[in-house]
């Protein structure tokens, strides 16, 4: 937990302290604190309604926290939002591109918000189109682009000002697998260039592939945090079993016998499989309708912590 006397340094991209947001009598974000360093991808992982988008809004000053603060370097976001946002890039869930402009013109127009004009603006737009692999589509109108191309264009727009930190709010929702992987490559490149990245997502594979650290959110609160592999190992273990067609009471008794846990999962149950025990053999002997043994993942972590899978 950060203290109120926390001082940001040259190695700190962004600090959020004790963020709390309440609408009426309903808290939607409670006591959320974290730091994002340059060259790090921090993930906010949780179901819809967990508070991810509200947190992102507080980070860039679009949502005023009921309590707490955000600092980018030495800049207090809530009191000097314009200066802070000049060092940020924001990719929201909506594309909000101008359909009356071409791809090139969309970026050029946005560059003017940062007082970048003339040859310098055109050069920067050319650099960004090459960076997101859209240079061959510069003259196309927005309605001629695929969903993946639009998301890459929105990312290029967010990078106009050479930001220190970039917020990606569920950036690949609705994209096909190939388009998602293309976007992932761009996020990895940002990290390698030393940019701090905050990613909100409900995709397990995306979080595990891209994030150095995760905050797991439920109902606006952090329920656990850590590196993806560390969270899985600490919370679940190496392997799990999916099983159907065996009485729950019998499964719970076996789980207790071998000091593990069992949860409802789909039309059956999920058990963590401890190493070097005969539990697997007992499950096989129970003659289930379906029995699958696999590596544990982040979905299993949420099920273990909350009793529910991510929606």
As a whole number of Å, the CA-based R_g of the chain is 22
| Cα 88–chain centre separation | 17
Contact 187, 41 (CB under 8 A): yes
* Domains of the chain from N-terminus onward: 14-231 (3.40.50.300), 238-295 (3.30.70.260)
User: Closest Cα partner for 250 from 272, 275, 283, 291?
Assistant: 283
pLDDT at 49: 86
User: Closest Cα partner for 91 from 177, 185, 197, 192?
Assistant: 197
pLDDT at 10: 47
CA 92 – CA 63 distance, rounded (Å): 13
Indicate if the pLDDT at residue 11 is higher than 60. no
pLDDT at 311: 57
Sign of the Cα pseudo-torsion (246, 247, 251, 257, in order): negative
Please tell me which residue, 157 or 5, carries the higher pLDDT value: 157
pLDDT at 37: 95
Contact 126, 204 (CB under 8 A): no
Indicate if the pLDDT at residue 75 is higher than 70. yes
pLDDT at 202: 83
pLDDT per residue as tens digits for the range 111-159: 998 888 999 999 999 999 999 999 999 999 999 999 999 999 999 999 9
CA 47 – CA 49 distance, rounded (Å): 6
Please tell me which residue, 8 or 77, carries the higher pLDDT value: 77
CA 19 – CA 25 distance, rounded (Å): 16
- Averaged pLDDT for residues 33-42: 96
Q: DSSP state, 220?
A: T
- Averaged pLDDT for residues 229-256: 95
CA 14 – CA 33 distance, rounded (Å): 11
Strands 290-295 and 239-244: antiparallel
DSSP string, 160-186: TT--SEEEEESTTTT--HHHHHHHHHH
CA 221 – CA 31 distance, rounded (Å): 7
- Averaged pLDDT for residues 163-182: 91
Indicate if the pLDDT at residue 1 is higher than 90. no
Indicate if the pLDDT at residue 284 is higher than 80. yes
Q: How confident is the model at residue 306 (pLDDT cuts 50, 70, 90)?
A: confident
- Averaged pLDDT for residues 263-277: 91
Contact 148, 182 (CB under 8 A): yes
pTM, full prediction: 0.88
CA 20 – CA 18 distance, rounded (Å): 6
% of the chain at pLDDT higher than 70: 95
> How many Cβ atoms sit within 10 Å of the Cβ of residue 199?
26
pLDDT at 46: 87
pLDDT at 104: 96
Report the DSSP beta bridge partners of residue 22. 27
Q: DSSP state, 288?
A: -
Contact 164, 13 (CB under 8 A): yes
- Averaged pLDDT for residues 260-269: 93
Report the DSSP beta bridge partners of residue 291. 243
Please tell me which residue, 104 or 2, carries the higher pLDDT value: 104
Contact 262, 270 (CB under 8 A): yes
pLDDT at 173: 87
Stretch (H or E) spanning 155 = helix 147-158
pLDDT at 6: 37
Indicate if the pLDDT at residue 7 is higher than 60. no
Q: How confident is the model at residue 12 (pLDDT cuts 50, 70, 90)?
A: low
């Amino acid at each position: 937990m950060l203290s109120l006397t926390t001082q940001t340094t040259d190695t700190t991209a962004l600090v959020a302290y004790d963020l709390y947001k309440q609408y009426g009598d309903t808290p939607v974000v409670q006591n959320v604190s974290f730091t994002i360093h340059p060259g790090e991808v921090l993930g906010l992982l949780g179901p819809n309604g967990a508070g991810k988008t509200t947190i992102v809004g507080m980070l860039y000053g679009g949502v005023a926290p009921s309590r707490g603060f955000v600092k980018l370097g030495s800049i207090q976001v809530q009191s000097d939002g314009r200066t802070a946002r000049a060092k940020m890039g924001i990719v929201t869930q909506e594309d909000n591109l101008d359909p009356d402009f071409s791809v090139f013109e969309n970026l050029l127009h946005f560059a003017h918000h940062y007082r970048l004009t003339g040859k310098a603006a055109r050069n920067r737009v050319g650099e960004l189109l090459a960076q997101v692999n859209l240079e061959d589509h510069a003259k196309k109108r927005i309605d001629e682009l695929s969903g993946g191309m639009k998301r890459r264009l929105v990312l290029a727009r967010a990078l106009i000002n050479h930001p220190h930190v970039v917020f990606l709010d569920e950036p690949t929702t609705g994209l096909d697998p190939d388009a998602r992987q293309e976007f992932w490559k761009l996020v990895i490149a940002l990290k390698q260039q030393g940019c701090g990245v905050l990613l909100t997502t409900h995709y397990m594979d995306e979080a595990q592939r891209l994030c150095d650290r995760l905050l797991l959110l439920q109902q606006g609160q952090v329920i656990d945090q850590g590196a993806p592999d560390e969270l899985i190992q600490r919370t679940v273990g190496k392997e799990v079993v999916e099983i159907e067609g065996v009485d729950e009471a019998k499964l719970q008794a076996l789980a207790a016998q071998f000091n593990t846990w069992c949860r409802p999962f789909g039309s059956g149950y999920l058990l963590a499989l401890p190493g070097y025990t005969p539990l697997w053999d007992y499950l096989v002997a129970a003659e289930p309708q379906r029995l699958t043994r696999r590596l544990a993942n982040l979905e299993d972590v949420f099920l273990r912590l909350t009793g529910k899978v991510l929606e």
